[in-house]
Amino acid sequence: MITETRPLISVTGLTTQFGSQVVHQDLKMEIPEGSIFGVVGGSGSGKTVLMRTLLGLNHPAHGQVSIDGLNPFLPEDQKKLQTRVGVMFQGGALFSSLTIGENLIYPLMEIAHLPQDLAKMIAALRLKMVGLEVDTLQKYPSQLSGGMVKRAALARALALDPKILFLDEPTSGLDPNRSQTFDELIKTLRKNLGLTVMMITHDQESLNFLCDHVGAIVDKKIVSGPLERVMAHPHPWIQDFFWGERGKRVFASQKGGR
């Protein structure tokens, strides 16, 4: 199903540190085009820091990052990346003083310079794609439930027709049923829109259901590759994550290969 193609995102020799605290050391990874790449790791292992670095929000001490052939730390490349990258932050990061509709229209009008009526139609379309009703457009983020905020945030991340979607714990804080529907939504969107997705997750179910490639951040480095290959890695944390009591239940189906 997945054909190996050129890496869309590649990171080499990445070292990130805050003061004397080293978060990543000489980290190297590649995310193939068209894959759903799940990032796992213990609390504080630097999953979100890695995502922020890829987005150019956090400057690494050393190392190169290339996203779709562009460098997120160069101002001229950043401009090109604006419309190629969509991000859904952990808490949604919807602008609280704007309605959901205005949240969606804002990037369309500011970056793509769409006329307002067209932007409104596109916003309504995006909202329906993530399974929300059109009347949600008029509501403020504080009026929505946790699951709806996640969906609206996903709609905003998709607003600019990105090639690459970054998701920071998309299903955290959702009940299992909603997590499952959300995972299915991401899968459908990926298939329909041909996205490459990088998602940070703690949820083994999501990982098993969605991701074909996995990166496990352990000891300041990342072990990445197709899911079954990472699962076989001998590192104790990885063994524990995939083959611990919880992991075993979830990943049992993986044993026979996919």
Q: Residues interacting with another protein, by CB under 8 A?
A: 83, 96-97, 99-102, 104-105, 108, 112-115, 117-118, 120-126, 128-129, 134-135, 137-138, 142, 158, 160-161, 192-193
How near is the Cβ of 158 to another protein at its closest, in Å? 8
- The residue among 160 and 250 lying less far from another protein, judged by its C-beta, is 160
Taking CB atoms within 8 Å and a gap of at least 24, the contacts of 19-23 are 22/220, 23/49, 23/220
- The residue among 76 and 245 lying less far from another protein, judged by its C-beta, is 76
- The residue among 132 and 218 lying less far from another protein, judged by its C-beta, is 132
- The residue among 31 and 158 lying less far from another protein, judged by its C-beta, is 158
How near is the Cβ of 146 to another protein at its closest, in Å? 13
How near is the Cβ of 201 to another protein at its closest, in Å? 25
Cα–Cα distances (Å) from 173 to 6, 96, 155, 163, 182, in that order, read: 34, 19, 18, 26, 12
How near is the Cβ of 196 to another protein at its closest, in Å? 14
Cα–Cα distances (Å) from 57 to 16, 72, 216, in that order, read: 12, 9, 21
DSSP 67: E
How near is the Cβ of 96 to another protein at its closest, in Å? 5
How near is the Cβ of 189 to another protein at its closest, in Å? 10
Triad 146, 151, 152: Cα angle to 5°: 95
- The residue among 105 and 231 lying less far from another protein, judged by its C-beta, is 105
Triad 86, 91, 94: Cα angle to 5°: 60
How near is the Cβ of 95 to another protein at its closest, in Å? 10
- The residue among 137 and 153 lying less far from another protein, judged by its C-beta, is 137
* Residue 74 CA to its chain's centroid (Å): 22
Cα–Cα distances (Å) from 12 to 21, 26, 44, 77, 232, in that order, read: 20, 7, 21, 18, 23
Structure tokens at 111: 């970056």
Q: Find, among 179, 237, 189, the residue nearest to 209 by Cα.
A: 179
- The residue among 106 and 209 lying less far from another protein, judged by its C-beta, is 106
Q: Compute the distance between CA of residue 38 and CA of residue 82 in angstroms, rounded to an integer.
A: 22
Q: Compute the distance between CA of residue 179 and CA of residue 252 in angstroms, rounded to an integer.
A: 20
Alpha-carbon torsion (160, 91, 221, 236), positive or negative: negative
